[in-house]
Amino acid sequence: MKKIVITSGKGGVGKTTVTANLGIAIADLGYRVLVIDIDFGLNNLDVVLGVENKVVYDIKDVLEGRCRIKQALVKCFEKRNLYVLPSDKINGNSNVSGQNLKLLVDSLCNVFDYVLLDCPAGIDIGFHRAVACADSALVVTTPNIPSLRDADKVVNILKSYKLDKVSLIVNRARGDLIIDEKMFLPQDIQLMLKTELAGVLPEEDAVFLYSGSKLPKKSDSAQAYKILADNVCNNKSKIFNVTNKYSGFFGSIRKCIKKGV
Ligand SMILES: Nc1ncnc2c1ncn2[C@@H]1O[C@H](COP(=O)(O)OP(=O)(O)OP(=O)(O)O)[C@@H](O)[C@H]1O
Ligand SMILES: [Mg+2]
């Protein structure tokens, strides 16, 4: 079983969105996937996966012995090998130890192929608790300076964990701005942070519009997540090209429309 923490440092850059959609894309490859919400108190992974009404027990109920792990797992979408373990929905809280959480995650090693851990923002106890459960990390960043600075800090902190792999996801990339040299190239971000690029995800309205359900298959985001899942599971390094859409004659028209010119 592979245990991957999705982290960022900076808040709001897309960790929960990435955890949910990467979970869906890995499950689509045929693997058994569990996504765990480690963002105690500010949990929303169940909402992004559209299963909040099915949640009866949460991770704290499991850790404190009020239910068995199987009772707390919520199946996402019929016929899919994707489950979510929701987090404590009432108290928030911190008295869950990293060690207990790690034991809980490890107890699932025969049940799932991949466990994705949705980490809270910041670099305090919640972050360390999540990282302690993982054997590799995906650091999500958006292509702007504040987010990159925090991602850099996180990458450095992660070095002390001796994880098998730390790689980068550039989220909310805009091809039109990259072509106009108004946004960093994902490849330059990779060089700045001295960290391998696992994937590039476009900024797209579909991500917001389809929150709580599956992204439309033909959307750029669904394609980008498919490539990311293939990279994560099969050690590949293909990158979704966000500028393609804005190249050539029709591309320049699209770029002008986007700019409102
Ligand atoms: N590629 C994208 N295109 C458009 N919107 C996006 C994209 N990625 C994320 N978002 C939007 O950004 C917002 C924040 O995303 P999300 O909640 O996943 O961030 P987060 O890092 O988990 O935040 P927090 O640090 O608070 O846990 C959401 O409204 C989400 O729909
Ligand atoms: Mg989140």
Q: What is the mean pLDDT of the chain?
A: 92
Q: Is 261's pLDDT higher than 60? A: no
What whole-number distance in Å separates Cα of residue 196 and Cα of residue 203? 21
Q: Do 37 and 92 meet the contact criterion of CB atoms below 8 Å apart?
A: no
Q: What is the pLDDT of residues 55-73, one digit of tens each?
A: 999 998 998 899 999 999 9
Taking the centre of ligand 1 as the mean of its atom positions, its distance from the CA of residue 108, in whole angstroms, is 28
Does the pLDDT at position 145 exceed 70?
yes
Provide the residue range defining the domain that includes 245: 2-259
Residue 221 CA: nearest ligand 1 atom is: 1
Find the CATH number of the domain harbouring 219.
Answer: 3.40.50.300
In whole angstroms, give the CA distance from residue 167 to residue 183: 20
pTM beyond 0.85, yes or no: yes
Total of domains in the chain: 1
Q: Which residue has the higher pLDDT, 46 or 250?
A: 46
Residue 149 half-sphere exposure toward CB, CA atoms < 13 A: 3
- 117, pLDDT greater than 80: yes
- Residues enclosing ligand 1, CB less than 6 A? 8, 11-17, 39, 121, 171-172, 201, 203-204, 207-208, 211
Checking if the pLDDT of 80 tops 80, the result is no
